[in-house]
Each structure stands twice: as structure tokens, then as C-alpha cells.
Amino acid sequence: MDSDAKLSQKADSSFTMDDFAKALEQHDYQFQKGQTVHGKVFQIDHDGAYVDIGGKASAFLPRDEASLRTVTDLSEILPLQEKLEFIIIREQDAEGQVTLSRRQLEIRHIWEKLIQMQEASQTVQAKVTGVNKGGVNVEVFGLRGFIPRSHLSERDNLESLKGQTLTTSFLEIDPNTKRMVLSQRLASRSANFSMLEIGQLVEGKVTGIKAFGVFVELDGVSALLHIKQVTQKYIDNLEKVFQVGQQIKAVIIDIDEGKGRIAISTRVLENFPGEILENMEEVMTSAEARAERAKSQSGQ
């Protein structure tokens, strides 16, 4: 190879290396998809906003990525030259411009808040937006969630729940799959449990009669009146004493919220053994005074 050809090859190769170096320079490797950055909006137009995030080229925030809620005037939520936080949703294009979002950042913060609420066993308000065979679709802080039919208080007429806001507890939260499953029944039970205490007189409806005891519904919480807690006298058949649908008053003697169990007693309301069997109406009518007496005798 003559010297001219060598020089020519060296010039070509040196040009290629320079070109490569310039290409590297133009690409800003400090900005990656999913990364949060701070920047200042310096221009707003119909399609979105241009943001200075300290890169070689300005970043762009599309209008529909400005907020989770619908916004008509971008300048209301994107004040010029004010330092704001963004998340990168698309890395650099050919011009070196990255695409930003405030909406995705809001969504990330909401998922974080929901996880904290779940860990603290807090309830959350969910607005019913739609109905399907398996339950209802809901909206929580702008995000979509679901309540299975079995976890609704109203399980028959789901259409009547449309537009309603329900108090719910968390069953499952997964930000990665955007899955949020909630329960209205658990929230109701938890709220009702917090209002109950041992020694308290409660009123409820008999929902089932078994050989070992009677199940009583107390405003969304099920309680058991064990056969030994009915009266101080022996009973051989509870169906002779109670009937399904009957309203009764009883005193709470044990609460186990973890297992969702409450034990109640009518035995403590008796003035003498067997009074429940002989004159239940009289015991129920004066139940308040009897419960107070039982409480004072037990030292509560």
C-alpha cells in the first residue's frame, strides 16, 4: 500500500472515530426510562410542554401525560420556571429529546399510598363505575379496582350500586400488574367490630339454629349464642326456644376479631335459672337493666 493510500485510510478511520465520539456526546446516558428527574417548564403549546431537565436537549411532556385528571389549561398545573418532578417514559429520540410524564408519577405515588394504607389496615372509599357477572368495577384515587360479588354487602342487585361510593378494605394490591381487589364486607365487619366490647348489650336477628347454639346477625357481624349460654337450666332442643328471623338481645362475653367471632349470652340476663325458657319476652323487655346489673356484678 502506497503512502497516499495509508494516509487516506488513516483520515477515513479518524473521521469515523470522531463521528462515533460525537454520537456518544449527543446521547445523554444519565437519562433512563423509569427514572425520576427534576426540571422546569419553559414553554407550553397545544400538544404539551417543553421542560429543561439539564440535558443537552429539552425534554417533552405530552398533554395527556400532564395529570391523572383531565386538564384544559396546562399552565394551571405546570407553572413556568418552577422546579417540578417528572418520570421519564421514553428515552432519547434522534434529536436527543426524552419524553416525560407527571401522570405516571402520580400513579406511582398512589400505588405507594395504597400499599401503606393496606399495611396499616385502613379502609378506602371506592366509587362503583361498572358492573359485571363477577362483581363491580370501582375507581380509587383515579385508579381502577374490583370488588368480587362475594365481598359485597349487596350481592343480588348489583346495578343499584352504580355511582355509589363504598367503604372497602384491601384484599390484594399489586402495582406491577396494576391489580387492586377490594372487599366491602371485610370493611363493614371491621368497622362493626371496633364498636363492640365485652359486657355490651346487643340486639340482633337469629339467622341459624344448630344443636350446639344459635347464630345471630349483629349489624353485619355474626355472633354465636352457645347452648350453654342460653339459660342456667338444661335445654335439650334450641328449636323449641328460638326461631329463625327472631330478634333477640344478648350480652357480649367474648370477641375474637382475628377469627371474626363473637360469643354472646342470654344466660347472664336471667334473674333465676330457666327464666329465658319461661318468659323470654319479659327478659328481653328489661334486658338493658339486667345487662347493667350483670356488668356491675362482674366488676366491669
Q: What is the pLDDT along the chain (300 residues), one digit of tens a residue?
A: 555 544 444 444 455 666 655 555 555 557 888 889 999 999 999 899 999 998 777 899 999 999 988 888 898 889 999 999 999 999 888 777 899 999 999 999 999 999 999 988 888 999 999 998 899 999 999 999 999 999 998 788 888 899 999 999 999 999 989 999 999 988 877 777 777 889 999 999 999 999 999 999 887 678 999 999 999 999 989 999 999 999 999 999 998 876 678 899 999 999 999 999 999 999 999 999 999 988 887 665
Q: Are residues 222 and 282 in the same domain?
A: yes
Q: Which of 149, 171, 189 is the last residue of a domain?
A: 189
Domain of residue 279: give its range. 197-298
Q: Are residues 128 and 148 in the same domain?
A: yes
Side chain identity, residue 269: L
Check residue 16 and give its pLDDT: 66
Q: Which of 172, 189, 206 is the last residue of a domain?
A: 189
Calculate the dihedral angle through the C-alpha atoms of 151, 156, 161, 166, rounding to the nearest 10 degrees. -20
- Determine the Cα angle at 169 with ends 167 and 170, to 5°: 140
CA distance linking residue 184 with residue 169, whole number of Å:
6
Please report whether residue 23 resides in a domain: no
Q: Are residues 157 and 214 in the same domain?
A: no
Q: Are residues 239 and 273 in the same domain?
A: yes
CA distance linking residue 144 with residue 283, whole number of Å:
51
Q: Which of 83, 90, 28 is nearest to 60 (CA)?
A: 90
Q: Are residues 185 and 256 in the same domain?
A: no
Please report whether residue 133 resides in a domain: yes
The cell for 155 is: 350481592
Check residue 22 and give its pLDDT: 59
Q: Which of 175, 164, 168 is nearest to 146 (CA)?
A: 168
Q: Are residues 203 and 134 in the same domain?
A: no
CA distance linking residue 71 with residue 64, whole number of Å:
8
Q: Are residues 217 and 274 in the same domain?
A: yes
Evaluate whether 237 touches 181 at the Cβ level (below 8 Å): no
Evaluate whether 196 touches 202 at the Cβ level (below 8 Å): yes
Check residue 21 and give its pLDDT: 58
CA distance linking residue 57 with residue 278, whole number of Å:
90
Q: Which of 106, 136, 165 is the last residue of a domain?
A: 106
Q: Which of 194, 213, 291, 297 is nearest to 252 (CA)?
A: 291
CA distances from 247 to 46, 195, 215, 219, 241 (A): 65, 20, 12, 12, 12
Check residue 11 and give its pLDDT: 47
Please report whether residue 205 resides in a domain: yes
Q: What is the CATH number of the domain that holds 69?
A: 2.40.50.140
Q: Are residues 202 and 229 in the same domain?
A: yes
Please report whether residue 210 resides in a domain: yes
Please report whether residue 262 resides in a domain: yes
Please report whether residue 167 resides in a domain: yes
Please report whether residue 95 resides in a domain: yes
Evaluate whether 39 touches 59 at the Cβ level (below 8 Å): yes
Number of domains within the chain: 3
Q: Are residues 253 and 275 in the same domain?
A: yes
Check residue 156 and give its pLDDT: 80
Please report whether residue 149 resides in a domain: yes
Q: Are residues 184 and 100 in the same domain?
A: no
**162 CB-side CA count, 13 A:** 6
Q: What is the DSSP string of 188-220?
A: HHHHHHHT--TT-EEEEEEEEE-SSEEEEEETT
Q: Are residues 74 and 124 in the same domain?
A: no
Q: Are residues 128 and 207 in the same domain?
A: no
